[in-house]
Amino acid sequence: MAVVVEGSAVKLEAPALARKHMKYVLIILALLGITASALALREKYRPYGESPCDINDRWDCGIVNHSPYAVWPKGSEHGIPVAVIGIAGYLLLGVLAFFRRYGLMLILSVPALAFALYLAHVEEHVLGVWCLYCAISLGTISLMTLLLVITVIVRSLRRKPAPAMSA
């Protein structure tokens, strides 16, 4: 981060490397989210008890992805699997990252993070078991949201000219 003085204006500039590569960092995170969501979706349709992430009594993707909370609306027999919503959401975020639409991404990532935190609450306090893929997705959307907050703030500070100083 650098402060640049041009005439009477003061600008805050992110390093060129960060400006150029944030797009790619966010796209890679979106791909990670798509992968984690796709693996969770696979668990939804895999016969119960055959989950490779059935690690112990605290970590079992099968229990989580066969629960009524794994579809929206909750418990609906013909509901949309939450993992499909995750895949679609990460795909949209990846496309927006490609076009550097960081403000819109931030607007969408905050409710996505809230939903992921709600699902983590369900895993911890209702089901009593965690899904490894869901935890990866929670970490991914958390990091994306943090990076987007920083990026949007830096970009908005960079665009605002400082008030003119009187002589």
The whole-number pLDDT of residue 66 equals: 92
The whole-number pLDDT of residue 12 equals: 54
Tell me whether residue 4 is in a domain.
Answer: no
The whole-number pLDDT of residue 5 equals: 56
Q: What is the DSSP letter of 68?
A: G
Phi, then psi, of 46 in degrees rounded to 5: -80, 140
Tell me whether residue 158 is in a domain.
Answer: no
pLDDT digits over 58-93, tens only? 999 999 999 999 999 998 989 999 999 999 999 999
The whole-number pLDDT of residue 158 equals: 85
Tell me whether residue 1 is in a domain.
Answer: no
How many domains are contained in the chain? 1
Cα dihedral 73→77→79→85 (10° resolution): 100
Tell me whether residue 63 is in a domain.
Answer: yes
CATH of the domain at 146: 1.20.1440.130
Which residue ranges of the chain lie beneath pLDDT 70?
A: 1-19, 161-167
Residues spanned by the domain of 143: 21-152
> Model pTM?
0.84
